[in-house]
Every structure is written in C-alpha cells, then in structure tokens.
Structure 1
Amino acid sequence: MTLINLRNLGVTLSAPLFSNLNLTIGKGDRIGLVAANGRGKSTLLRAISGEADTTHGEITTARGLRVGRVSQDVPEALLAVSMYDAVLSALDNDQVEHESWRVDVALDHLQVPPELRQRLLGALSGGWQRIALLARVWVTEPDVLLMDEPTNHLDLNRIGILQHWLNTVARGTPFLVASHDRSFLDAVTNRTFFLRAEQSHSFTSAYSEARNALDEMDVAAARQFENEIAKANQLRRQAAKLKNIGFNSGSDLLLNKTRQLKVRAEKIEESARPAFTERSAGKIRLANSGTHARALVTIEESEITIPDGQSLFRVGPLWINRGDRVVVLGSNGSGKTLFLTRVISALRGGQSGIRVAPSVVPGVSDQTLSQLDGFSSPMDAVTGSSEVGDRSARALLAGAGVDINVQDRAISILSGGQRSRLAMLLLRLAKPNFYVLDEPTNHLDIEGQEALEYEMLEHDATALLVSHDRTFVRTVGTRFWQIEEQRLVEVDSPEGFFLKELD
C-alpha cells in the first residue's frame, strides 16, 4: 500500500536542487536517503512533511496520514525546558492531561537515563538533544518517520540503541532517513534512494549493495555516453567528406545527404547524457613528507589521568611505526580524546613518557577543528598557514569545496562539511608525516568520507585515530588499541568492540 507518492518533484533555489524526482513510500519501506551535503536532502524531507514548498511536481499522501519529521536542529524555545517537558510539549492539551505516560514510555524505549530527563535540553549534549527530538516525534504516533541525520553527535553505544529501537520498537513504522553513516544505513534500511539533481535512483537494497549497483549503472552510462559521442563524431566526419565530394561533383543528392548526417549527429549529441558526476563538495587530499625513522612515536609505561589525578587507564609500552594507522577504541568517556591530547602534547614537545622521532612532522585535527581558530576567513587560514599566494589559495579553497562567495567571509558561517574540508586542506599544506585525527569524518558526507579514506590509503599515511564511524575504521585502520579493564591494549580487530558497544 502506497502511503506517500512523489511525482515529478523538483525544487529550484538559486540553482536546481533536484528535478523529476519520483518516489513512493509504502508499508514496510525503510529507505536510506543519500546525497552529498547541500544537495537537497533536508529540503526534500521538509517538503514531504508539508513544511517547504516545491517548485514543480506533486506530493500525495494517504488520507489521514500522520507524518513525523525529526529535524537536525533543536528549536530555540525548547532549549530552556527540560528534556521531559520538551517531549511532553509535542502532545496536544488533552493528551498532556490524560496520556503523559507516553513520554516516559518513549524515553524508556530510547534508554534515556532518569537523571537526564529533568535537565534543561540546552545543557545536554548534541547526542541527547537528538534523542529528545526523536522522542518528541515518536510520542505523536506517526504513520511515517522522516529522520534528518539522526546519528549526528551520537557515540557508538547510542547509535546501537537507535539501531535496536528502529529494528524493534519502530519496526512497523516506515521511514525515510537521511544519513552519512554507511554502517547505520546497512543495519536499518531495506531500500536506498540516491538523490541527484536530474536523475535520482532507487534500489531495493541497503546502502552497500545499492551503491555497488549504482556504480555499475554509472559506469554503463559513461560507456554509453562515450559510444554516442563517438557515433556523432563519426557522422560528422562522414558529412564533411560527402560535403567535399558534393561540392566538387555538384551533386544535390550528396549535399542533401550531408545535411541529414549533420542533423542525425546533432540529435545524438542532444540526447546523449554525460555520466553522473557529483557537483562535488570538494576533494580531500593529504600528503606525506618523508621520514626515515621506523618508530615515529614510542609510548612508555604510564597512566592516563584526569585533572584531579584519578587514573583512567594505563598505557605502554606501545609504538607507532611508519605506515601504521592506529585506531583507539573505547566507550564514550573512557579517555580516548584525553589520550590523543597527551600524544599531541608530546608531538609539540611538552609531554614526558612519549618519545617522538626528530623527523616527525605532525598534522593534528581535533573534534572542534581548533586548527581553524584565530583565522578570520578561509582565505586568511590558507595564506596564513602556508606560503601560497592569493590566486593559488583561491584555487585550493575551491578544490576543497569552499565556494568563492564565502572564501573571504567569517569561518563561522561555513557549513560543518566545509569546515571539515578546510581543516583537511590546512593539514595537507603542512605536509605532515604523522596525523592525529579525532573524529575526522564528523560533518563529512559519504563522498568526503570516501575521499579521506582513499587519500589515507593512497599515501600510506601514518596516523593515530579516534572515530565512531565503523566503515571508516574498518577501511583505514591497520592496528587497533582498545581501552578495556583500565588498560590500553592492542587487539586484532575492532569487531569485538563494535559488537559490545552496539549490543
């Protein structure tokens, strides 16, 4: 049974976001919505929920259908109320009086600790705010869920709870979810919709299988385009040859044939579609400067402590060799970022117990992208952290997905994805041979994640990493250090940790 039908849908703002979009959502559909940042995912979700207008096409829904949209951003008015009251306010007055129990049930199913429910929403982490927004929609008993990046700000444990909730409590509710978390999409969806400016594609499979099918389709389209253009060029060559013969012989028949060949070539070129290329949010490139040292970092036996002196876990002896990409695994709050901070301090010459080879050139990116602090604009960041000239800086920024119209504006107005790509660009310009990256895929779309993965593998980068992105960890990690039983130990694979956290 069709619940929502999108027919020839299109939205044009300063440029077309998408057009001629056709999609049906029926009972049992669990659809992943995939596109690069800024390509219209949020706009499409708002349009389906009736909160945004479309330029053309139509949206029809089953009579009486309740559509619940989980947005990315918390309404400002909710920040000053408790999580419980924020969820309660989604009910109408009669339900508030007689069915307030729905709130506790929703929060219980999403495993929200009781002590958090009376805290102000504005004082909670972004992850808990995202859970509150989901609970607000769920208590209204929607027939279809629309979710916009629900895993943003969630640690792996919370992602596991969300996956379990979608596959159990909410298993009877169809949904459309926009997400850049590839493993999450594989775990919860049964269809995938790739949103594109002109030709969007739907597949009856989860992300990984659908992506393979899409890649095959794009390769076939590229081959077909090349064949059609070659055919058109051949017709034009034939036409040119006949034209010369026709002029020399005075044959009207040959000249008419020449015109026919030109018309056929033009029709082929007009109908030929070039293979899809994403209007890229920018390429991510990394580079390695040389080093002859085998062990770049050696960590001696020591303790990682919090400021009050309490021990979190013991480390060492451990080492990081050239070409190692070490992923640090641990539950939220276990001290992963604190450990990375200690290594960063050693790289900058301020930490005992960690030896760094003299040839190490560090490149550091933390969760807050603090390497962007102190710069007034993207142009200032590039020219201020390298010796490139203005013209080259603008070209580098454009290649990183920072449009010319924002290159001289405040960094604060950039999107999360643009800030992440700018941070990666600054790392590249520093030409490090040892990267320390804390959640580097935060805010990157799938295209950006894959670009970063490719660059790390292509350049055989040496790195110390923290990431909750399972696909990224599996792709780039060569060694894995796990915090368990108050000790940082090396393990063969991240899979045991993933299973434990997701359970």
Structure 2
Amino acid sequence: MTTLIKVRNATKEWDGAKLFEGVTFEVKEGERLALFGRNGAGKSTLLRGLTGRLAFDAGDVRRLLPLADWGWLDQQAQTGSDLTLEQFVQAGSPELYALKRSIADLTQRLKEEPESAELLGRYSDLYERYAQLDGYGWEALVERSLRELGFEAALWEAPFAELSGGQKTKAQLAALTVREPKLILLDEPTNHLDADALEWLEHWVRNYPGTVIYVSHDRTFMDRTAKAVLELEADGCRRYPGGYSAYKAQKEIELRTQEALYKKQEQEREKLLESIRMYAEWFQQAHKAAGQNDFLRSKSKKNVSRLHAKESALARLDGSKVQKPREEAQLRMELETEGFAASTLLRMENVGFAYDGRKPLFERFGLTIDRGDRIAVLGPNGAGKSTLLKLATGILNPREGAVSIHPQTRIGYFEQELGKLDDDTTILDSLLVLPGMTQSHARTILGCFLFTREDAFKRIGDLSMGEKSRVAFLKLFFGKANLLVLDEPTNYLDIGTREKVEEALRHYPGAVLLVTHDRYLIRQTANRLVVMDGKGGLVQYPGTYDEYMSRDRSRTLTAEEQLGLNERERLGLRLAQLMGSAQPDDPEEQRMLMEEIRGLRARLSAAGENGRA
C-alpha cells in the first residue's frame, strides 16, 4: 500500500510542559486509524501538526499527498458567521463554491446592465467552467448529503453560527462527503451525534474510498470502524491492530506479561544480591583468618572472583532491566447513598409536555422508577430526552399529568451543560462549603478525582470541560443521592475515566435515570430503556440495550401493533416490579399481591395471543 504520511520523532511542548516526544508512525492508503490517548495527551495537537497548521518543536513530518487532497473536521468549526448551513457545506468545495458565488454576482449585475458585452463574456466563461466541473450535479450532491444527515430543507438557510454542536459536526461531515478528499482527519466526530447520525457515520467511515484518521472516545465506534489503534503517550506512540476491544485485550496481555517478567527479574535480582552479600562476607572472613599465610590468602581470593562474577551478572540484569508496570492515575469514585425503605422513588403518571408554541414532545407518558432501576433514555436529538430528565427532577413542570417524588427520594442531577457550577470559586473552596469538610479531607478527595495539589486553587471557570465534569461528579459523590439523574455525564471524559464511572454506577445501590449517546455506557449500566422516536412516541423496553437492538425491525409496526406492544411491556414491567418487591407481613396484603400477580400473568398471556394473531 502507498504511504501517505511519515512522522519521525515528533515532539511538542505546551506552556513549558512536554505533551509528547519521539512520536514515530506511518499512515498508508486505505487505513482507518484511531488515535487514542488520555485527555491532555496531545491528540488534537498531533492532528493539527500533521496538517501543518501547527509546528512541532522537533521531528519531521513527510506529507506524501498534497494538502489539497486532505480534509479535516475540528472539534470547533472555524468559520465566518455570515454563512448559512447550505453555504457552509458548499464552501467545503472551494473552487465550485467560488464559481457559484461569482455566477450569482454576475447574474445580479446583468440584471442592471443587460447589454454589457464584458459581463456576458465573463458569465459565459464561468458558466462553461461550472458545467465542466458538473456544478449542478455538485449542488444536488450537497442537498443529498444534507438530507442524509437529517437536515430538513427549512434549516438549510439557517446561520451556521446558530447551529447546535451536533448540527455543526454534521455540517462539517456533509462538506467532507461532498468533496471526498483522499485523506480525512476527524477530531471527535462522534461528539453530540444521536444514534441515527452515529450509525450513518459508522457506515460512511467503513465504506469511505479514501484514508481516515480520527480521534474518538466512542468505544463502539472504534470497534466498528478502526483497522488499527495508535496509542499516544508522553514518550511516543504504538500501533495495535483492530478496534478498541482488541487494543484493550492486547494491553491486558502486555500488562500481565510485563508484571510476570518484572517479578521474575526482581526474584533473580534478590538472589544475586544475596550471593553478593554472602561472597563478600566469606571473603572478608577468609582474608582476616588467612593473616600472612599466602596459601590461605590465595584461597580467599576465589571468593573475590565469585563476588565479581555475581556483581557483573547484576550489572547485566540492571542493564536490560524490565520496567515496573506503570499504573496511570485513575479516577477513584464510589457513589454512596443513604438508607431508603420504600421501593418506589419516583412516579410519572399521564405526563404531557410542550414548550410554548410548539407541538407536544410527549403525551400521557407513565414511568415508575424503583430501587435498583438503571433506565437509559434513547432517541434522536430534539426528541425531548433532556426535557424528560428535567421533569423528573422538578426543574420543569408537566403541562398535564403528575410527577410524584417520594419524600425520602434524594436526587443527584448531572446536566450536560454543567451550568450549575460556580465559575468564580476554586475547586477546593467548592468542597470546603460542605458540612464537616476539612482541608485534609478535601485534598484527599481531590486526589481521588485526579486533581493535583496545584489544581485545587484553579477557578472552576478556567477548567476544561473534562475537568468540570469531574467537579460535577464531586457533587454527586457527596450528595448521597438515592436517585441519580444523569444527562450526558461522560461527554468530556476520556475512556479510562468513563470506565471508572461505569464501574461506580454498576455498584451504586440507588437508581439511575440516564441520557447518553455512549453505547458502551448503556450496555454496562442499563437494565431498562425508554425509547423516544422524536415524533411524540415513547416506548418502554424492560430489557438491556443489546436485547432491544436484536429485535426484529424489518418492518414498521402499525399503530395498533405498537399500542399492543406498549401494553405488553407495561404489564411485564409491573409484573417484574411485583415479583421483586418484599413479601408483605399482613395475610390480606399477601392475598391481594398474589391476585394481582395472577391477573397480570393472565393479561400478559392474552396480550401475547392477540399479538401473535
């Protein structure tokens, strides 16, 4: 395969601190390369250095493909605020876009000077060039790309600067799909994308005719698209074949192998040191006992030779020393809750909601959250997932129906905008306001959340989004909530930190109501789903994400079939709740419980028969 990029010993410092050094790798034609590393490792910096938009402090980058054949997507799109969405996508093809603008300008001028031979001649030349480049086919391709990425025609004239983060990402992707450069660099392309857009992006990356290098914290996306993972660390990089799961498995093998070699080396080292101590002691004793006896002095020197041999063996061992496996700093978080006697924490009954002047997001929706529930809310952007969470927390009130929260329910709310954090206070001061908190305890907790001694005095407003997310988790850590309501909690976290959050949620004794596009997080934590279709429809699914995704979707259900499915799922959910509830002490309550269980089983059986009919 043709090599497109050669990087040798690339080094970069930032604010006096070394991001990385000795980075060496090659990129070949047709590769799907995932650039992986912790937050702050310099992944975005490395991508910018590859394009030449940022200079490395040392090392060499050989670009064997002209930059005109490159394309890139940045985390933050840089563009003028005067472009509409459609114009932004068109501007991704500079020559055709410039021709289109020039033709439009000449058309306007010809309306004012219809007899101008000069204008007519220029118009003819531009039109001919535009036709040669299939300009009208390009315009149709722009429109098709916008539709494929879910942009309705009514939005095409909206100012690009006013789009949401997810819409800006999709607009950049649309511009790239239209131009189809031979080499594409994508920095966090999965951020803010909903499930449909993620599936489209996965299919596009897998089938793209060129070469793709990307940074992403979406492990499912990496598994489905990457042919190799390039791990970036402070002292260089290393390539691993396959996606994230293959990379992680290989890293675990490496860690176990290195641990075994290090242990064997230390055992050998201890044996050599013991031999050295023993021969040194023997020599000293023999030499002292020999006195002036030449024979005995000569005999004692044998121990010196053995001593030197063991010292040489130790020097060789230390020269090829296996390094002790390095344990990177990781988030240490254990979510706690206070005792709670009741089984139901929150209940929504016949809830409906609509923002002023807009159609309802949902109507007559019911949801019960019990102890141990892990409920993930799925659906496209704009379907109302965050709104549902705000209704659950009481931030919003329903237009109809009721939200009942048990008096003992304590809700811990993580909002994706992180707007409730006080930007003017320091990280340390944000903890010291808590009852009973001391300086030493606060510093210990900050260390568990990867904040250094110096970080403690940073203003929250000066932190990165990943650091702000960790501060928000600090509030959950101390809140002792028994119901966590989490809106995109891992958006700005690297994979290592995400996995620690997943572990904490798995062991959390309370209930969780979660909105996230991280499919790994859903798989690891959710045992129930609420699925929103973006058109006012909601379906509750009493099972895991993988079970839901494995269902037959070969045809669209009729309205009657969907109602039947919803009813069966509601009955099944209620039955599961009753079966998992504590046995009442009162005999009459026991009888009523068993009657309801038998009734639910009968109704489920009847609903199943009707569904098969």
Q: Give the TM-score of the pair, scaled to structure 1.
A: 0.88
CA distance in 2, matches of 1:307, 1:46: 44
CA distance in 2, matches of 1:131, 1:309: 24
Indicate the residue corresponding to 2:104 in structure 1.
none
497 and 337 in structure 1: CA distance in 2 versus 1, 3 angstrom threshold: farther
For residue 343 of structure 1, report the CA deviation from its aligned partner. Answer: 1.1
Indicate the residue corresponding to 1:152 in structure 2.
191
Indicate the residue corresponding to 2:105 in structure 1.
none
For residue 288 of structure 1, report the CA deviation from its aligned partner. Answer: 2.6
CA distance in 2, matches of 1:244, 1:103: 89
Indicate the residue corresponding to 1:367 in structure 2.
416
For residue 233 of structure 1, report the CA deviation from its aligned partner. Answer: 2.5
- For the pair 1:323 / 2:406, whether they are aligned, the reply is no
262 and 287 in structure 1: CA distance in 2 versus 1, 3 angstrom threshold: farther
For residue 144 of structure 1, report the CA deviation from its aligned partner. Answer: 1.1
496 and 455 in structure 1: CA distance in 2 versus 1, 3 angstrom threshold: closer
Deviations 1:197-228 (A, max 9, x none): 23533222122222212222222122222222
Question: Kindly, what percent of the aligned residue pairs are identical?
Answer: 26
Correspondence 1:326-405 to 2 at 5 A: 326-345=375-394, 353-373=402-422, 376-405=425-454
CA distance in 1, matches of 2:91, 2:75: 18
User: 49, 52, 70: which one pairs with 1:50?
Assistant: 52
Contact 2:5-2:65 within 8 A present in 1 as well? no
- For the pair 1:224 / 2:261, whether they are aligned, the reply is yes
CA distance in 2, matches of 1:469, 1:389: 36
Contact 2:90-2:97 within 8 A present in 1 as well? no
CA distance in 2, matches of 1:120, 1:140: 21
85 and 331 in structure 1: CA distance in 2 versus 1, 3 angstrom threshold: closer
- For the pair 1:21 / 2:23, whether they are aligned, the reply is yes
466 and 64 in structure 1: CA distance in 2 versus 1, 3 angstrom threshold: closer
User: 50, 67, 70: which one pairs with 2:70?
Assistant: 67
For residue 333 of structure 1, report the CA deviation from its aligned partner. Answer: 1.9
For residue 3 of structure 1, report the CA deviation from its aligned partner. Answer: 1.6
Contact 1:365-1:371 within 8 A present in 2 as well? no
Correspondence 1:465-484 to 2 at 5 A: 465-483=514-532
398 and 104 in structure 1: CA distance in 2 versus 1, 3 angstrom threshold: farther
Indicate the residue corresponding to 2:85 in structure 1.
83
Structure having the higher helix fraction is 2
For residue 152 of structure 1, report the CA deviation from its aligned partner. Answer: 1.1
- For the pair 1:4 / 2:5, whether they are aligned, the reply is yes
Give the partner amino acid of 1:494.
Answer: Y
Q: Mean Cα displacement is larger for which, 269-278 or 154-163?
A: 269-278
CA distance in 1, matches of 2:328, 2:140: 44
Deviations 1:43-63 (A, max 9, x none): 111121122233443322325
Contact 2:348-2:404 within 8 A present in 1 as well? yes
- For the pair 1:236 / 2:285, whether they are aligned, the reply is no
Contact 1:367-1:439 within 8 A present in 2 as well? yes
Query: Structure 1, unaligned stretches of length 5 or more?
Result: none
CA distance in 2, matches of 1:493, 1:315: 24
Indicate the residue corresponding to 2:582 in structure 1.
none
CA distance in 1, matches of 2:406, 2:308: 72
CA distance in 1, matches of 2:279, 2:467: 54
Q: Mean Cα displacement is larger for which, 491-500 or 444-453?
A: 491-500
Q: Which has the larger radius of gyration?
A: 2
For residue 493 of structure 1, report the CA deviation from its aligned partner. Answer: 3.7
Correspondence 1:68-147 to 2 at 5 A: 68-75=71-78, 77-92=79-94, 96-97=98-99, 98=130, 102=138, 105-106=141-142, 108-110=144-146, 111=148, 112-137=151-176, 141-147=180-186
- Report which structure shows greater RCO (CA 8 Å, sep ≥6): 1
For residue 473 of structure 1, report the CA deviation from its aligned partner. Answer: 0.4
401 and 21 in structure 1: CA distance in 2 versus 1, 3 angstrom threshold: same
RMSD: 3.0
366 and 238 in structure 1: CA distance in 2 versus 1, 3 angstrom threshold: same
Q: Give the TM-score of the pair, scaled to structure 2.
A: 0.74
431 and 92 in structure 1: CA distance in 2 versus 1, 3 angstrom threshold: same
Deviations 1:348-384 (A, max 9, x none): 9xx9833333332221111112341465221222222
- For the pair 1:294 / 2:343, whether they are aligned, the reply is yes
For residue 489 of structure 1, report the CA deviation from its aligned partner. Answer: 2.6
CA distance in 2, matches of 1:17, 1:373: 29
Correspondence 1:167-186 to 2 at 5 A: 167-168=206-207, 171-186=208-223
Query: Paired residues, what number?
Result: 495
85 and 406 in structure 1: CA distance in 2 versus 1, 3 angstrom threshold: farther
CA distance in 1, matches of 2:230, 2:255: 15
Give the partner amino acid of 2:262.
Answer: F
201 and 244 in structure 1: CA distance in 2 versus 1, 3 angstrom threshold: same
Deviations 1:417-456 (A, max 9, x none): 1111111111101122221111111111111110110111
CA distance in 1, matches of 2:456, 2:97: 50
Indicate the residue corresponding to 2:601 in structure 1.
none
CA distance in 2, matches of 1:336, 1:498: 19
Indicate the residue corresponding to 1:452 in structure 2.
501
Indicate the residue corresponding to 1:194 in structure 2.
231
Q: Mean Cα displacement is larger for which, 2-11 or 257-266?
A: 257-266
- For the pair 1:490 / 2:529, whether they are aligned, the reply is no
3-state DSSP of counterpart to 1:74:
coil
Give the partner amino acid of 1:193.
Answer: L
CA distance in 2, matches of 1:243, 1:19: 44
9 and 226 in structure 1: CA distance in 2 versus 1, 3 angstrom threshold: farther
3-state DSSP of counterpart to 2:361:
strand
For residue 153 of structure 1, report the CA deviation from its aligned partner. Answer: 1.8
